[in-house]
Amino acid sequence: MTMAMTDDLVSRDADAFFHQRGSSPCLSALRAAEGIWLEDIEGRRFIDLHGNTVHHIGHSHPEVIAALKRQLDTLAFSPRRFTNEPAVALAEKLLAHWPGARAKVLFATGGSDAIEIALKLARVATGRHETISLEGSYHGHGFGAFGLSKAAADPRLGPFLQGRRHVTPYWVQDGARRMLAEMREAFAQSPTGIAAVVAEPIRSNCHVPPDGLWAEVRELCDQHGTLLIFDEIPSGLGKTGRFFAFEHVGAMPDMVVLGKALGAGVLPIAAIIADARLDIAPELDLGHYTHEKNPLTSRAALTAIEIVERDGLVQRAAELEQRIRSRIAALAVKAPAIVGIRGRGLLLALEFDPAAFGMNPGPAFAARLVSSCFAAGLSTTSKGPDSIGFSLPMTVTDAELDLCFERLETAAATSQLEVA
């Protein structure tokens, strides 16, 4: 394959797809994704430190592919009025991991849809419609889900759901104190009461909350009859070193939303798990999706969780976090521009000091970090104005981790990341 072929495919993509931030026009074109690796059509291989947070068990896990081929030969589709073995087994598998009171599930085709199912369920259960969420978070791109992320979206998109209240996020300066104070104010000001607080227990940008924060939010929700919904679309299923990310933060939610890696990085599927006491509206279509109980997507998810369980990948994520922290500390001695690493398990972000490059934190600096890593064979994305993602699959081998650090050291020593 030649660069001309890459340019041609990228150009065709740009002509065919609507342009949007973070997507078309594309950076390059892939011909393979396997394990920790991405391979473009010219044969260049990149270690995937991003994976859109779907590659918990690596790309194209052979057991998942084999299971899907078997499923195609038996049952490839199931209308939602019928059930099937993979869908029921997946529901039971997820519920077996739930640490709270009896719960039930619903499936959807993506995380944004699952968030909106959770919003519907909260409205029905509480008789209210207002929400509290964290400014600058991300919960999907449906009009309900995306409206949770920002108080003021682009005005060209028009109005989102009414009753959205946004508070300062814990990851900014003095954020935890301001967040709680603004939540108390929102509870006090709401004329109808708040239906739900919706938030990521550990931010997908790898910001870990201070101890006790979510326990205080849980107490506020209980005082006001409000449901707590945790979005674990990027962080759940073991990535943080616990099966559910909320198991780190000392607060039990009323609902949790899973997605992305639930489909094993192969097929799109999401789920909500919620307290069974919320099963009070059987006459409503809370999540009416054509592929709600699709046997293929269910089989992918079920197989992924079985692999996570069998291979002890939750524990491995926790162990690798400590190993990576030690190696980053050692690398920072050689490359002082590296400040450190944040996150839990293998949901990690690598932090840099922009001043070491004579730059200020911001999009330009983050883009420089990303492009420098790409040149060294590391595919990543920005995780803020001075950080990049360092999120490896839980299946990464010791040898692959060594290679990852070799490339990172090369980037830090010889590429644009060289200290000015």
- Give me the tens of pLDDT residue by residue for the chain, a chain 420 residues long: 467 788 899 999 999 999 998 888 998 899 999 999 999 999 999 999 999 999 999 999 999 999 999 999 999 999 988 999 999 999 999 999 999 999 999 999 999 999 999 999 999 999 999 999 999 999 998 889 999 998 888 889 888 889 999 999 999 999 999 999 999 999 999 999 999 999 999 999 999 999 999 999 999 999 999 999 999 999 999 999 999 999 999 999 999 999 999 999 999 999 999 999 999 999 999 988 999 999 999 999 999 999 999 999 999 999 999 999 999 999 998 888 899 999 999 999 999 999 888 888 999 999 989 999 999 999 999 999 999 999 999 999 999 999 999 999 888 765 445 443
Q: Are residues 226 and 177 in the same domain?
A: yes
Report helix, strand or coil for 348: strand
Distance CA 179, CA 199 (A): 12
In this prediction, residue 59 carries a pLDDT of 98
Instruction: Output phi, psi for 374, to 5 deg.
Output: -60, -40
Asked whether the CA dihedral 229, 112, 184, 212 is positive or negative, the reply is positive
Total structural domains within the chain = 2
CATH of the domain at 166: 3.40.640.10
Predicted TM-score (pTM) of the model is 0.95
Asked whether the CA dihedral 214, 220, 221, 222 is positive or negative, the reply is positive
Range of the domain at 394: 3-61+312-414
Asked whether the CA dihedral 41, 45, 51, 54 is positive or negative, the reply is positive
Q: Are residues 181 and 290 in the same domain?
A: yes
Decide if 69 is inside a domain.
no
Decide if 66 is inside a domain.
no
What DSSP string describes 133-178? EETT----SSHHHHHTT-SS--GGG----TTEEEE--TTSTTHHHH
Q: Are residues 325 and 354 in the same domain?
A: yes
Instruction: Output phi, psi for 120, to 5 deg.
Output: -60, -45
Task: Say which amino acid occupies 185.
Answer: E
Return the residue matching tokens 């990543």.
Answer: 380
Angle at 203 between CA 52 and CA 124, to 5 degrees: 95
Q: Are residues 131 and 273 in the same domain?
A: yes
Q: Are residues 81 and 201 in the same domain?
A: yes
In this prediction, residue 284 carries a pLDDT of 92
Q: Are residues 330 and 369 in the same domain?
A: yes
**Cross-sheet strand order for the sheet of 45-48:** 30-34, 37-40, 45-48, 378-379
Q: Are residues 278 and 266 in the same domain?
A: yes
In this prediction, residue 419 carries a pLDDT of 40
In this prediction, residue 413 carries a pLDDT of 66
Distance CA 346, CA 113 (A): 26
CATH of the domain at 22: 3.90.1150.10
Last residue of a domain, one of 310, 337, 365: 310
In this prediction, residue 2 carries a pLDDT of 61
Contacts of 116 by beta carbon, 8 Å cutoff, 6+ apart:
140, 142, 144, 145
Q: Are residues 146 and 275 in the same domain?
A: yes
Distance CA 420, CA 416 (A): 9
